[in-house]
Amino acid sequence: MTASEKTDLLQDTMLIGIGASPGIAIGETYMVNRARMSAVERTIDEESVDQQIAAFMAAVNLSKKQLEEVKQSVTDRDLSEHIYIIDTHLMILEDQMLLDETRKLIREEKINAEGALKRTLDKFRKVFETIDDEYLRERRSDMDFVGERLLRNLLGEHQQSLKDIDRKVVVIAHDLSPADTMQMDKSKIVGFVTDVGGRTSHTAILARSMGIPAVVGLENVTSFVPGGTPVIIDGTAGIMILHPSEDLFKEYLRKKQIFEYQERELLNYRDLPAITLDGHRVALRGNVEISEEVPLALQQGAEGIGLYRSEFLYMNRLVPPSEVEQVEAYRDIVEQMKPQVVTIRTLDVGGDKFVPEINLSDESNPAMGLRAIRFSLKERRLFKTQLRAILRTSAFGKVRIMFPMISGVAEIRTCKSCLEEAKAELVAEGVPFDEHILVGIMIETPSAALIAHLLAREVDFFSIGTNDLIQYCLAVDRSNEHVAYLYEPLHPAVLEGIRMICAAAKAADIEIGMCGEMAGEPMYALVLLGFGFTELSMNAPGIPRVKRILRQVRRDDGEKLLHNLMKLSTASEVKQHLEEVMTRRFPDLFEQKAF
């Protein structure tokens, strides 16, 4: 095959991946070698143990030095709010489990340093592979990036820096770390594509924050697309086009101009309330796991935190956090968000959220086992410590407390009894707190949906966790490739469940919110408005688009749409009708994007 025949063959070839950062980039590819390092395990003799441990620790220290240099290089740029990601990687390098486990393998198993490190990393990866929650699962990539850096330094391999690229290109790589992304110069690197990755990885979050279009998860694109290939990438639709024809080039150039105009327009919504044309207001709040994510939430116009995942405080440590540590962590977020509210979800472990430091026994069906509030009610001392910390934090700002995975009235009453005990203790100790702190629950199980009218009498607010509610409602494990196709947010049973929950909240005159992935999907915004939600909590980048939609519609637009959708019989019928309506009403937002 001649070169020209190969070019003809590839013209307008479209590859489908995952849209990690919206926008359109046009240029030539530039290959960056980020292939996984290969570690060979071998047995060492006793005399080599200390030398191997020393080599491992030297790699740790060199890795720290490299990350500190990256951190310093971005301090003066607009990326300072994301330095926490580098700090997270530095924390992993100081993780005693990582260090002790590797050194133990070297010393006791007589394994060379890179082999011992590989075994340790494999152990951590297995833990993350069991996680269903996409956001939590993507935290594994941070461990992978740190592991790759350590291996590379152990093996003395040099890594090409992206800051050395001196012309406009679309970077193509097996994977890119957050540190790689931070070193990108937008005037040179107009976009990037990778073999692996997900929408919620720190690399993707950074790309969105920097406004660099990105498509990830293209599986093996680096194996057959060489450097210098003319391409178009559409980070909104998750598309990469090889050797675009002149017609396609002109079409995407026009789309690029439209997208950039829309992005500038969305900035105008940041400080405006999410209020419909007929005055229905919806609080758009952020989902966060650590305090360093709060600035991005504020930047995107979040009106408070609708979901603070407290379980991250319990990770990467040998013992659970003390009451004082928790107060400090919660207070940091509360004070950043003042005067807006922060909703702290109590510890949610077990099932798809595994915290290695908390000893959960093996269960044949962990998703229906000792998890979330069930675990907290079993471990009362741990639970009480967290309740006291949340109450104490309420003295510094507006705080709500939210219990996860409630399945019955008895559970919520027991939770409230524990909370009252914690309040009584603080009163006796003279410690200030908000005596009127609002108490809510996540609605995530079919049982909670069915008795929502009973649960509504017990609490101040509901927040629907759609990820688990859909999974339990449809009896579908979405991480199971054989049945994942049955995970359908628009299934009539799911819609009926949400309708029942919202009706119960309305009848009891309590707040009704949603903090699952559905809340942040603009395509669903009008439907959720029809249900009557007063709060939607999502990852920060989704806020401006949802707000824009809400400000351009009336409440009864949503009610009419919902009425029509509820008459349909299948998820595919609902989806088709919804796409038609939303694309007709917001062609600039949806004409390019399937969901």
Which residues carry out catalysis?
Answer: 202, 515
Q: Which helix (H) or strand (E) holds 59?
A: helix 49-74
C-alpha pair distances (Å), 79 with each of 23, 66, 71, 292, 294: 19, 17, 10, 12, 14
Sign of CA dihedral 509, 444, 131, 492: negative
- Spatial CA neighbour of 235 closest among 260, 208, 209, 254: 208
> In 3-state terms, what secondary structure has residue 19?
strand
CB atoms within 10 A of CB 230: 17
| SS3 annotation, 369-417 | CCCCHHHHHHCHHHHHHHHHHHHHHCCCCCEEEEECCCCCHHHHHHHHH
Say how far apart CA 578 and CA 585 lie, in whole Å: 11
Query: Bridge partners of 342?
Result: 305, 399
Return d(Cα 317, Cα 95) in angstroms, integer.
Answer: 7
CA–CA distance, 303 with 265 (Å, rounded to integer): 20
CA 232 to each of CA 104, 107, 170, 244, 594: distance values in angstroms, whole numbers, following the listed order: 49, 51, 9, 7, 18
Q: Which residues of 28-57 are buried (b: 16+ CB within 10 A; e: fewer)?
A: ebbbbebeebebeeeebeeeebeebbebbe
CB 512 within 8 A of CB 462: yes
Q: Which uninterrupted H or E stretch holds 69? A: helix 49-74
Q: ∠ CA 484-444-534 to the nearest 5 degrees?
A: 115
In sign, the C-alpha dihedral spanning 342, 343, 347, 352 is negative
Of 538, 537, 466, 456, residue with least CA distance to 502? 456
* DSSP assigned state of 360: P
Nearest-10 crossing angle of helices 113-129, 140-154:
170
